[in-house]
Structure 1
Amino acid sequence: MQKNKVTTYLLFAFGEIILVMIGILLALEVNNWNEQQQKREFESRSLVEIYNSLKSDSARISQWIMPRLNNKKKGINAIGQLLEDRMNYPGDSVFMQAYYLFDERMQVSINYGPFEALKGNGLDKISSPEVRYWLIDLYESLFPRQIDFIKLNIEATEPVIQDAQRALFRPVAFKGESGNYDTYTLPKSKNILTEELFIELFRAEQRRAEELDRRTRTMMEAIQKSLAFLRGYFQEQGIEFEIKTVKEVGIRGLLQDSTSLTNR
């Protein structure tokens, strides 16, 4: 009788231990599931933010930068045609119309914010090594390299441009219809096209436009490839993502950036 009681007690105790262990394992499993869900939600949210940021970068470049760059190239072509017949100066009015396009300034910018936020929380939270390496190459290699090339070109050409502009042009004040005075610039010489310093200015602006065009197109191509790559990943993983149009981004989105470089 006593032996049976002991056996029953041991079986009961063993059963309680098993139940406790099952409970612990279930709790661990639930906790692990919650952690995986949180990690997946963080990954999805971070990648969608990067995706929308790239959409905004694309809109800013295509609708803000490229039209100004195209104006600059038109101005360069117009000035180039005038230089082919430089002895026949067309007059300040015709020249300055071409020059204002030629002197177009613009800003190249990439929003690093969403990537830096992801990086600060740990890039290892991105489960796909392919996506992780893609983003690292894009934000830590391709974008910085292109912007550095533009910056180096600006630093190399800026002294020539500034010196030439100071030497070749003079400010002229005029009274507008409102009665307020404003200023504009005109060439100092009777035929600026024959000035050697203006030839140097033209070549410097030409090099700047060519470099800006090359680097901007490289960045746009990388952005479009990255958007397509991320869309494919989202569809594969069943991640919902929002495609923001330029209208949704708005003018603040077009102008806002975390890294900008003025072509000046």
Structure 2
Amino acid sequence: MIKFFRKIRQNLLSENKFSKYLLYAIGEIILVVIGILIALQINTWNQNISLNKQEIKALKNLKEDFKFNLEALKNASKTNDKNIHSCLVILNHTGKRYSKDFKMDSIINDVMSSPGFYPNNGFLNDLINSGNLDILKNDLLRNKLSSWQPTIQTIYNRQEAAEEFDEELIRYIFKNGSWLNVDQVNNDEIIDKIKLPESGFVIDNNNMLKSLEFENRVENQAVYYSILKDRYNKCLKLNEDIIQLLESELGDKQ
């Protein structure tokens, strides 16, 4: 092709047809420019295809992680609801509401068993730390993902505080109650394998129901679990919004 154009140029020059040569040269320049533009367009097109593939891969990985997070959140929230319920049951039997018919050994563990939420954030953290979050074209999705870490941090803070109060209540029971009595009525596979004996002391954990300090500690647990419930609900809503946006984006691109 290059030899062909070169031959035309030589013929025009040899025939001294300068005006025609000038028109030909301009036409050749235009062809070169068009060729360059086409090459750039193809390169841009290839880059867009590559970016689209990367975005789809990112969307799929994020969806997998947030599906896991949603289930983990639901389980933690379910445990937390059970803890709140157990606190309220016990509080309805303290002080003047004390009853010999009520036995709290079977639910006392729930009062000091803060749930834990441990999400899969690896892929999202990689996107943010590498500055590649912009690979996701949906502005709303990027904003939601950016607010995920601050939102779960509020859960971490409350879980940490609740765990500290768990430990305080556990220490209280060490001094005023019997863990052997509690373990005798709780169905735990690990504890059952130990074959623990009954307590060597004549002690009734229900006597703690008559203690104002115990009532205050259980009430404190109920309050902290309720605050944690509020954090779980906000995080659940954000998690569900993110999954919905991820599925919508994947649906549009596949």
The equivalent position to 1:194 in structure 2, one of 210, 230, 236, is 210
Q: Within 5 Å, which residues of 2 pair with 1:80-91?
A: 80-83=91-94, 85-90=96-101
> Larger C-alpha radius of gyration, 1 or 2?
2
Select the residue among 135, 158, 164 that pairs with 1:125: 135
Per-residue CA distance 1:150-202 (angstroms, 9 max, x = gap): 434544x3453243132223344999xx9954378899567121123322321
In structure 2, the CA distance between the partners of 1:87 and 1:73, relative to structure 1 (3 Å rule), is: closer
Q: Distance in 1 between matches of 2:156 and 2:36?
A: 54
> Partners of 2:70 and 2:124 in 1: how far apart?
16
Which amino acid letter does the alignment assign opposite residue 171 of structure 2?
A: D
Name which of structure 1's ranges 207-216 and 95-104 shifts more when overlaid on structure 2: 95-104
Distance 1:171 1:104, change over 3 A: closer
CA 1:167–1:108: 2 relative to 1, 3 Å: same
2:77 paired with 1:69: no
Report the AA paired with residue 182 of structure 1: L
Deviation at 1:7, TM superposition (A): 5.8
Instruction: Tell me which residue corresponds to 1:230.
Output: 246
Alignment partner of 2:37 out of 25, 34, 37: 25
2:253 to 222, 228, 239: 239
- The residue type paired with residue 237 of structure 2 is E
Tell me which residue corresponds to 1:252. Answer: none
Which residue number corresponds to residue 206 of structure 1?
A: 222
2:42 aligned with 1:37? no
Q: Which residue of 2 aligns with 1:109?
A: 118
Structure 1: 5+ residue runs without aligned partners? Answer: 241-264
Does the 8 A contact of 1:49 with 1:114 survive in 2? yes
Pairs aligned (count)? 231
**In the aligned structure 2, how far is the partner of 1:76 from the partner of 1:140?**
30
Alpha-carbon offset, residue 30 of structure 1 = 0.9
Change (3 A) 1:65 1:84: same
218-227 or 2-11, which deviates more: 2-11
- Matching residue of 1:4: 16
Q: Is the 8 A contact 2:178 2:203 kept in 1?
A: yes
What's the C-alpha RMSD, in Å, of the aligned pairs? 3.4
In 2, Cα distance between the equivalents of 1:184 and 1:101?
21
Change (3 A) 1:48 1:183: farther
Residue by residue over 1:46-91, the C-alpha shift from the partner in whole angstroms, topping out at 9 and shown as x without a partner, is: 12322232222112222x2233223222321321222154544447
3-state secondary structure, aligned to 2:94: helix
SS at match of 1:108: coil
The question of whether the paired residues in 1 share the 8 Å contact of 2:72 and 2:119 is answered with no
State the percentage of identical aligned residues.
Answer: 17
For the pair 1:136 / 2:139, whether they are aligned, the reply is no
More helix by share: 2
Whether 2:234 is the aligned partner of 1:218: answer yes
Normalising by structure 1, we get a TM-score of 0.71
Residues 153 and 211, structure 1, Cα contact 8 Å, conserved in 2 = no
* SS of residue paired to 1:27: helix
* Higher-strand-fraction structure: 1
**Aligned equivalent of 1:160:** 168
Q: Is the 8 A contact 1:75 1:98 kept in 2?
A: yes
Cα shift at 1:220 = 1.0
Distance 2:92 2:40 in 1: 76
